[in-house]
A and B are shown apart, each in its own frame.
Chain A
Amino acid sequence: MDEELHGYVMEARRGNPDAFTELVRRFQGPVFRYAYGMLGDRQEAEDAAQETFIKAYRSLSGLGSDYAFASWIMKIANHACVDRLNRRKKERQAVRDVPSETADKTDRNAEWRTALTEAMESLSAEHRQVVLLHDVQGYRYEEIADFLRIPLGTVKSRLNAARLALRNEWKKGEA
């Protein structure tokens, strides 16, 4: 963690809203990408990201160490997404959204993008978590185990199963 970021975290903990806005600027990308990957819907991802930052701001005093901010904010984002997925399951609404980036069929990459998002949506939430944390957020296996509070062996087997399932769905899409 760079010192500048550490300074912003400390200032935000002292109640400085401008410092917190800087943190939002820096972490909105990873938080939004994770939420989008988990929820598969831009609007819901935006709501979840907003909820994440507001919760973080209101509970900054609960942050154990200034240096742990990055994983702390991602944990809040993960909870926000899991809560939304649970609510969605309860409401039994089949929410499926093709993002604007993938809707343009004139784009030559549109087909594989659609196939990929559909394949991701077919995965369980647990499988999406490990794929996004590793392949998109760049976490190592040990960090994922710590983040999700699961054994290292479970991370290995879950990521392997998730990728194999993605590959199978991808192949189905290609066929």
Chain B
Amino acid sequence: MMEHPVEWLSAYLDDEIDEKTRIQVRDHLESCESCAETLRELAEIQALTASFYGAIEPPPELEQSVRQAIGRKLPPRAWFRSALALALADAVCLAMVWQLFGGLVWILWKSAYKISIAAAYLVSDGIGSSPSLYAWAVGLALILIFLSGISLRRLLRSETE
């Protein structure tokens, strides 16, 4: 006869045991009152646990609190999807505009490019000829870089919140 199969009792109770061992445990239980009693107690504990915890109801406000919390946060997937849709719409609009006014836009763009190059030479000559104006321009550039940094940081922070 099998030794007291205490380590198999739970699996026997749950029917999670191979056939050969199940028969051995069953035969042992028929002749061992101590193991049969342990099995009865385990079954009772299992039933009590299932009935007690199974009857626990979640608080009624849980659903509402989750709803409120997720209402403030779009899932990344949805955000990505809307951003992608926006980018695609932009690309389509741009292609249509280019199809209709491409030639004109190209002429305007070339003219604007030439004018801006000439203006850049003119401004750099002007700034270079006066040291005080040069210092002002450098200072202004530094201030603009600093302000851009701050605004970029704020923008990134508001995105992550």
Q: How many angstroms from the CA of A17 to the CA of B72 in the assembled complex? A: 10
- Give Cα distance in the complex from A15 to B78, angstroms: 5
User: Main SS of the interface on chain B?
Assistant: helix
Whether the pair A141, B81 counts as a contact (CB closer than 8 A) is no
From DSSP, what is the main secondary structure of chain A's interface residues?
helix
Query: Distance in Å from the Cβ of A131 to the closest Cβ of chain B?
Result: 6
List B residues 61-103 near A (Cβ within 8 Å). Answer: 62-63, 65-67, 69-71, 73-79, 81
* Contact yes or no, A156 B45, CB < 8 A: no
Q: CB-CB < 8 A to A132: which residues of B?
A: 53
With both chains docked as a complex, state the minimum distance between the C-beta of B64 and any C-beta of chain A, in angstroms: 9
In the complex, A116 Cα to B69 Cα: how many Å? 34
A33 in contact with B53 given A28-B62, A28-B63, A50-B66 (CB within 8 Å): yes
Establish whether residues A164 and B53, one from each chain, have CB atoms under 8 Å apart when the complex forms.
Answer: no
Residue of B nearest to A157 (CB): B7
Q: Is B27 interfacial (CB 8 A cutoff)?
A: no
Interface CB pairs A-B, < 8 A, 25: A15-B74, A15-B78, A28-B66, A29-B57, A32-B56, A32-B58, A32-B62, A42-B59, A53-B69, A57-B73, A61-B77, A101-B56, A112-B48, A132-B53, A135-B50, A136-B49, A136-B54, A156-B16, A159-B14, A160-B7, A160-B9, A163-B42, A163-B46, A166-B49, A167-B38
State the A residues within 8 Å of B (CB): 13-15, 17, 20-21, 24-25, 28-29, 31-33, 36-37, 42, 46, 49-50, 53-54, 57-58, 60-61, 101, 112-113, 116-117, 120, 131-132, 134-136, 140-141, 156-157, 159-160, 163-164, 166-167, 170-171
B38 CB contacts on chain A under 8 angstroms: 164, 167
User: Considering only CB atoms, which chain B residue lies closest to A31 in the complex?
Assistant: B58
Q: A54-B66, A54-B69, A58-B73 are in contact. Are A116 and B10 (CB under 8 A)?
A: no
B interface residues, how many (CB within 8 angstroms): 39
Set of chain B residues within 8 Å of A25, measured between Cβ atoms: 63
Interchain CB contact under 8 A, B50 and A60? no
In the complex, given contacts A32-B62, A36-B53, A54-B69, what are 15 additional A-B residue pairs having Cβ atoms less than 8 angstroms apart? A14-B81, A21-B63, A21-B67, A21-B70, A25-B63, A32-B58, A50-B62, A58-B76, A61-B77, A140-B16, A141-B14, A159-B10, A159-B14, A163-B42, A167-B45
